[in-house]
Amino acid sequence: MITPYGRDNASLMLGIGGCLILLALTPIGTIGSIALITMGIASVAFTLWFFRDPERYLDDKARTDDSWITAPADGTVTEVVEINEIPFVGGRGVQISIFLSPLNLHVNRYPATGVILEAMYKPGKYLMAFNPKASEENEQSVFVVSTSAGSILFRQITGFLARRIVFVTKTGDSVRAGERFGMMKFGSRMDVVVPVGSEILVRPGNTVISASTIIARLKRSEPST
């Protein structure tokens, strides 16, 4: 199934692939026909792969406990680093960055269950997604979700190849971990920022699967006596 977040691009790319295959049927010679068929099939195959939208199953712990934070995207953890302040939330945080190659699934899912306190789009540069400055300078969307265990921030960040972010989230929305909310196109990055003191369950080099991989657990405040 092709994700609805990318049907515009997918339709164009499938059309181009189909046209190349049809052109190969015209009398242009064997070498030309083989070249066009190869490019056409490659275009169709890449489109179906990149814009695929398979199911991802939420980790059982995150179904019943909002303190468990899941990966919002498929990819590779490239950075786990402390930052001085979580934007829109305050306090020190730990930023977990996930790099998505063009071969990774690019449909994004909410990392936590709660209410969206902030949802905004920020235009910016197109630095390589693994560049540490990308978190601040690149085009991105930024979300803050308040859970029963605390607030976290997550953001979609475009990379050098990507030029479009798609999301349907609005301030005030009630969301559930593992639900789809958008995608980034053609290579990009996801950041999740949790408060310092949270248990971090991934490290650089780990491969994560959206919804299925737990990346952190928030530390619940002790009840006052």
Catalytic residue numbers? 188
What are the φ and ψ backbone dihedral angles of 95, each rounded to 5 degrees? -100, 125
Cβ-contact 153, 119 below 8 angstroms = no
Structural tokens at position 75: 């990819």
Neighbours of 187 (CB within 10 A): 20
Spatial separation of the C-alpha atoms in residues 161 and 50, rounded to whole Å: 14
Structural tokens at position 69: 């934070």
Spatial separation of the C-alpha atoms in residues 160 and 45, rounded to whole Å: 23
Beta bridge partner(s), residue 13: none
Report which of 62, 124, 103 is spatially closest to residue 186, judged by C-alpha positions: 103
